[in-house]
Chain A
Amino acid sequence: MQSKQVDIVIGVKNVSKSFGDNHVLNDFTLDVFKGENIVVLGKSGSGKSVLIKCIIGLMKQDKGDINVLGKSVADLSSDELDQLRSKVGFLFQSNALYDSMTVRENLEFPLRRHGKSLSQSEMDMAVQQALESVGLAHTENMMPSELSGGMKKRIAIARTLILKPEIILYDEPTTGLDPITGKGISELILEIQRKFNTSSIIISHDMHCVKIVANRIVMLIDGECYKIGTYEELSHSDDQRIREFFD
């Protein structure tokens, strides 16, 4: 039990969040262990993205506690939050690449901003390594507008990888991509987990992606943690509300 406590990298305890009368998270509880990929599965508008935005501190929960790498996110000062964020990567649903910057500048931005005092050659190497890890080493001087949807997603992943995060939060990583590109991205997420031993929360309702990347799946229904299990366990469930996702 003691060793499991140590291994918890994200602890979400009884978190509630509402927008007016819309209660999106309702006493939600979840532990993420080191090195595992957890998929949060739920219908659109069920509060999946809100959950990871609370974890990274972009939103504040109304109730409950969120602990990331041993720190309570709500209690952190702005500087402490920045420090924590250097260890947590976030892949946005829309990729959020800076339109006015080249791919290289997009990747250098978090390195410069998180106060990493790297020389230009170290920076070049970090950019090159991050691009190679997503298989797009040749794109460094391209603008985001010149990239395809799949390439943008890979560059956005490279940007989250460049700080060598311990945790990565993926917000619908395969949405808007064709099935083949989506499969490629799912395999890349799995490869990142194996290569860098990262812990991840993946928000998705793409069942192909879920099957590839998930160590455990959390069913988020009515704002609550309805059920947790592996893909095999949940896909064989008799519960109609779970079956809806797998059929």
Chain B
Amino acid sequence: MSDNAFIRFLKEAGELSAFTGRFFKELFKPRQEWRELLRQCFYVGNHSLALVGTTAFIMGLVLTIQSRPTLVEFGAEAWLPKMVSISLIREIAPVITALICAGKVGSGIGAELGSMKVTEQIDAMDVSGTNPFKYLVVTRVLATTLMLPVLAVIADAVALYGAYLGANIKGVVSWQLYWSQVFEALSYSDALPAFVKTYFFGFAIGIVGCYKGFNSNKGTEGVGRSANSAVVVSSLLVFVLDLIAVQIADILGFT
């Protein structure tokens, strides 16, 4: 990394931190934009559900199909539901859901706010007696933070169903046996850290998308760049947060 790129990175990180600080400052200020928050929650949930569901189903199915030969080799085929369910719940479903949302929702927020910025709609909101940060940023960040865990839980369920079908392609596992093995394998310490980290993933996706869009410039070219970098930065942040979450869970004994 050249000196210039490093300075740019530090500058960007500083600005993003200041933007996050402003989010918390504005969060508790009146007036609360409940209507817009609900609209954004619906948008985030509704627009990502089909994609998240499809991806989770495929991940569950593929993971089961690909894990079977190795387990068969060690004579541990019966462990398939247990192993797959732990992988899905602890890691794959939350991360895949976050990545899908970073691509779908993060880019959408970056492009929408970027376009509003360059067409002066944000200034128009300001002169209309509306705090644009509160109306546009706070509602969107809250929506992604609140909806990502919901989507991740749905993704967990769909992925486990996909895994059930995968387990039955080359073997026979009854519905009851499959689910009893899944719930036997899973414990509170598997589900809780995975669930909690999705709140942070959602927050990261929302704040990065809003930051990129809100600071967009250079016309339509800038809008495209905002959408693109919203996806890249938030996807990267998802992995970084995942790494941190795993370490913290480990330290707290959630293993």
Interface residues of A (CB under 8 A from B): 53, 56, 58, 78, 82, 85-86, 88, 90, 92-100, 109-110, 113-115
Contacts and interface: CB of A to CB of B under 8 A. Distances in A.
Given A99-B116, A99-B121, 11 more contacts: A58-B123, A85-B127, A86-B129, A92-B120, A92-B124, A98-B116, A98-B125, A109-B130, A113-B129, A114-B128, A114-B129
B126 A58 contact: yes
Nearest to A171: B120
Contacts of A90: 124, 127
Contact of B120 (A93, A100, A113): A93
A94 B219 CA distance: 12
Nearest to A91: B124
B17 interface: no
Nearest to B121: A96
B213 to A, nearest CB: 13
B115 interface: yes
B174 interface: no
A223 B119 CA distance: 25
Interface of B is mostly: helix
B128 A94 contact: no
Interface of B: 112, 115-116, 119-121, 123-131
A92 B115 contact: no
Residue in B115, B121, B124, B131 whose Cβ sees the most chain A Cβ within 10 Å:
B124
Contacts of A98: 116, 121, 124-125
Contact of B129 (A85, A96, A99): A85
A82 B129 contact: yes
A93 B123 CA distance: 12
Nearest to A106: B124
What 6 A-B pairs are tightest by C-beta distance, nearest first?
Answer: A96-B124, A110-B128, A96-B120, A113-B129, A114-B129, A82-B129
Contacts of A92: 120, 123-124
A56 B120 CA distance: 14
5 contacts: A92-B123, A93-B120, A96-B123, A96-B124, A109-B130
A56 B126 CA distance: 10
Contacts of B131: 78
A53 B128 CA distance: 14
A78 B121 CA distance: 19
Nearest to A82: B129
Contacts of A53: 123
B128 A58 contact: no
A46 to B, nearest CB: 19
B205 to A, nearest CB: 20
A58 B127 contact: yes
Nearest to A85: B127
A94 to B, nearest CB: 5
A53 B127 CA distance: 10
A82 B127 CA distance: 7
A85 B125 CA distance: 11
Contacts of A85: 127-129
Contacts of A95: 119
A10 to B, nearest CB: 15
A100 B125 CA distance: 13
A58 B129 CA distance: 12
Nearest to A79: B129
Given A109-B128, A113-B129, A113-B130, A94 B115 contact: no
